[in-house]
Amino acid sequence: MLQSNLSIGPNGHLLFAGQDTVALAERYGTPLYLLDEERVRANCRLYTRPFARCFAPGSLPYYSSKALCFKALYPILLEEGMGADVVSGGELLTALAAGFPAEKLCFQGNNKTPEEIRLGVEKRVGLFTVDNLLELERLDAEAARAGIRQRVLLRLTPGIDPHTFAAVNTGRIDCQFGVPVETGQAREFILRALRMPHLEVAGYHCHIGSQIFDFQPFADAAQIVLDVAAAVRDEAGYTPSVLNLGGGFGVRYKEDDPVVDIPACIERLSGILARLCEERGLPLPAVSMEPGRSIVADAGVTLYTAGPVKVIEGYRSYVVVDGGMSDNPRYALYQAPYTVLNASRAGDPCDGEISIAGRCCETGALIQENVPMARPKTGEIVAVLVTGAYNYSMASNYNRVCRPPIVLLSGGKSRVAVRRETWADMTACDL
């Protein structure tokens, strides 16, 4: 099995977090998102433990809310000692509504609206990551209005290509996030921020991409940012007290994907950072990271019920499931790989390939193509693995399909954390 929270029951059903997925599908209906709470907690500890051991006091991993955001997640993150990143008023208010402390939030994003900036300041979020000059000015004005000095990080673009695919690669110079180092704009941006009377520059931020399986790209990014830090120190006498290296550690979607040892990578990074700082005569900053995918992805499984099975003689076979790009758009967007199992007969041998199609009206709206598996029959339960990140959070009401519920699994028990949308919800905003 792809991951340790999966197994096969004596009845041949797929077990997830020790629970029978076919029974869960019967109880809660399909499509259905399952989330393994113990796995979320274990993934948080992959960061919190080495952070406490290796980095300077004040270092903190921030969970990147965009990967998966719903209220019941935040008490879990808080108990595990995580901070959290938000990129919109919606994510911010979700975290606060769940009792997450504002001072442990970091407000990200490359175009926070004036209303969102105001909201963040009013709610006293601990940190803003400022992406651009316009926002620097708007935030300074808003902080002035509120009579506070807002702590900020400045988002720099180090120009690193972490060798991931283009759609999730944000460290290159040519992208819409942050201020580029190579063009000299980063230096100007920092000097400008240091003159803002109502902002306190806590340090620098960078995020180089996603699905990174090694510490080296983070070390490369840190080196570039620390070079800027040293230059600014020489010019303006300012040294950062925080360095945020962004998110992006990879997860395994398929058997042949590499395994990343996150605690070992963090340990290596801490050594490299210490050396880089020493070489430049910089004090060791507190370190932050913003893992999203690696916290929730392998804690999630999506269940569907197989509908029609279409065998196109001489071509290929399709099974159409009762969800699709409305609950998981990632294959349609960028051919994201997934492992798919027949949850009703998880122990059965593969008997051919089948493509998993969704019910949305787009030819490209597949969940996965040509999957070798025990081919599902109508009525059987199909499980798509490692769907905890960027599935629910990217779900839509395309075709006015209702979004599935999220059921949290913990200690052999299950509970609905997000209810299933209803047809009434589909017209709730219509006047």
Ligand X SMILES: *Cc1c(COP(=O)(O)O)cnc(C)c1O
Positions marked active-site: 361
Cβ nearer to ligand X, comparing 260 with 319 = 260
Candidate list 39, 66, 345, 403; residue touching ligand X; CB under 6 A: 66
Residue 67, interface with ligand X (CB under 6 A)?
yes
Closest separation between CB of residue 75 and ligand X, Å?
21
Candidate list 210, 328, 339, 355; residue touching ligand X; CB under 6 A: 210
Closest separation between CB of residue 289 and ligand X, Å?
8
Asked whether the CA dihedral 39, 44, 47, 52 is positive or negative, the reply is negative
Candidate list 294, 305, 328, 344; residue touching ligand X; CB under 6 A: 294
Give the other-Cβ count within 10 Å of 254's Cβ: 11
Candidate list 89, 120, 171, 291; residue touching ligand X; CB under 6 A: 291
Residue 207, interface with ligand X (CB under 6 A)?
yes
Alpha-carbon span 249 to 268, nearest angstrom: 14
For the segment 357-396, give every residue that binds ligand X (CB under 6 A): 389
Phi, psi of 390 (to 5 degrees): 60, 30
Given the rule CB under 6 A, which of 14-22, 60-68, 132-140, 362-370 is the region that contacts ligand X?
Answer: 60-68
Alpha-carbon span 396 to 121, nearest angstrom: 30
Axis-axis angle for helices 114-122, 133-146 (nearest 10):
40
Alpha-carbon span 31 to 384, nearest angstrom: 11
On the 0-12 / 13-18 / 19+ scale of CB atoms within 10 A, 284 is middle
Closest separation between CB of residue 83 and ligand X, Å?
12
Alpha-carbon span 82 to 45, nearest angstrom: 9
Residue 112, interface with ligand X (CB under 6 A)?
no
Cβ nearer to ligand X, comparing 218 with 304 = 218
Q: Which residue is associated with the tokens 């120190």? A: 233
Cβ nearer to ligand X, comparing 66 with 330 = 66
Residue 247, interface with ligand X (CB under 6 A)?
yes
Alpha-carbon span 49 to 60, nearest angstrom: 10
| Residues comprising the chain, all counted | 431
Q: Which residues bind ligand X (CB under 6 A)?
A: 64, 66-67, 108, 207, 210, 246-248, 290-294, 389
